[in-house]
Amino acid sequence: MTLDPRTFFSTLEQRVNFTDEDKALLKSHADWGKLIAPDMSDAFYAYLERDEEMANMLHQSEERMQRLHKTFTDWFMEMFTGMDEWGVEYANRRWKIGLVHVRIGIGPQHVVPAMATVVQKVGQRLKNDNQPEELKDALGRICMIDLAFIEQAYVEVSSSAVLQETGWTEGLFKRLVATGANTIN
Ligand code: HEM
């Protein structure tokens, strides 16, 4: 895999303008994040359960659902704590989350609206709990970074699988994708 998670994080950080002020604000609200994480997890899985295809993916085993509640609350809180100041550990964790989703066949069509749900639910809760508007913006930015990791994992894994299988160069692959896009209406 060619993607370096920390470098990718830095690119995204600049792209979405995730600032030191955002980080300080998130850290100072980590207790609130911890408090609401279980409710956010419930709301998130209630959303996924409404869709038959996603519900089937969730219920492949009883332990899976239990694991998911724990991994979701951990993930949610890590956005507030930043783990290692949003460094190598944070980036590697996000990359691994992306890879897990690719492996089980969860694609952009599932993940993008799911993350929109997180942003919406957290926005509602923030309002109810009288939390500052800037916290919503900071959370929105880190959610977009985390989303980009999951999406990028999908692209990286599929393209590197094609390259390995066919022996094509990256340049050739990109040209084929570009020409392919021209032929699809
Ligand atoms: C906002 C988007 C999402 C976030 C933040 C998220 C978060 C996570 C995390 C943190 C893990 C654990 C990864 C690990 O084991 O290292 C995970 C695994 C998983 N997620 Fe998601 N997820 C998202 C979207 C979805 C969607 C849309 C589905 C669709 C059903 C889904 C289903 C699963 C499943 C089945 C697993 C594997 C559980 C297991 O067997 O361990 N996730 N997710």
Q: Is the CB of 97 under 6 A from ligand 1?
A: yes
Q: Is the CB of 144 under 6 A from ligand 1?
A: no
| pLDDT on residue 157 | 87
d(CA 71, CA 76): 9
| pLDDT on residue 182 | 82
pTM of the model: 0.94
Query: Among candidates 119, 90, 75, which has minimal Cα distance to 13?
Result: 90
Token reading at 93: 């964790």
Q: Which of 90, 96, 97 to probe ligand 1 with, by most ligand atoms within 8 A of CB?
A: 97
Question: Could you tell me the distance, in angstroms and rounded to a whole number, from the CA of residue 68 to the centre of ligand 1?
Answer: 7
- Which three-class secondary structure state does DSSP give residue 30? helix
For the chain, first and last CA: distance in Å?
A: 31
The domain spanning residue 154 has which CATH number? 1.10.490.10
Task: Specify the residue with its C-alpha closest to ligand 1, atom 41.
Answer: 64
Task: Specify the residue with its C-alpha closest to ligand 1, atom 40.
Answer: 64
| pLDDT on residue 1 | 53
Q: What is the pLDDT along the chain (185 residues), one digit of tens a residue?
A: 579 999 999 999 999 999 999 999 999 999 999 999 999 999 999 999 999 999 999 998 888 988 999 999 999 999 999 999 999 999 999 999 999 999 999 999 999 999 999 999 999 999 999 999 999 999 999 999 999 999 999 988 888 888 888 999 989 988 988 888 888 87
Q: Which of 58, 83, 106 to probe ligand 1 with, by most ligand atoms within 8 A of CB?
A: 106
Our count of domains for the chain comes to 1
Structural domain boundaries enclosing 72: 5-183
Question: Relative to the CA of 71, which ligand 1 atom is closest?
Answer: 10
Q: Is the CB of 104 under 6 A from ligand 1?
A: yes
- Contact status, residue 139 vs residue 147, Cβ threshold 8 Å: no
| pLDDT on residue 42 | 96
| pLDDT on residue 174 | 87
Please, what is the Cα angle at 110 between 147 and 1, to 5 degrees? 50
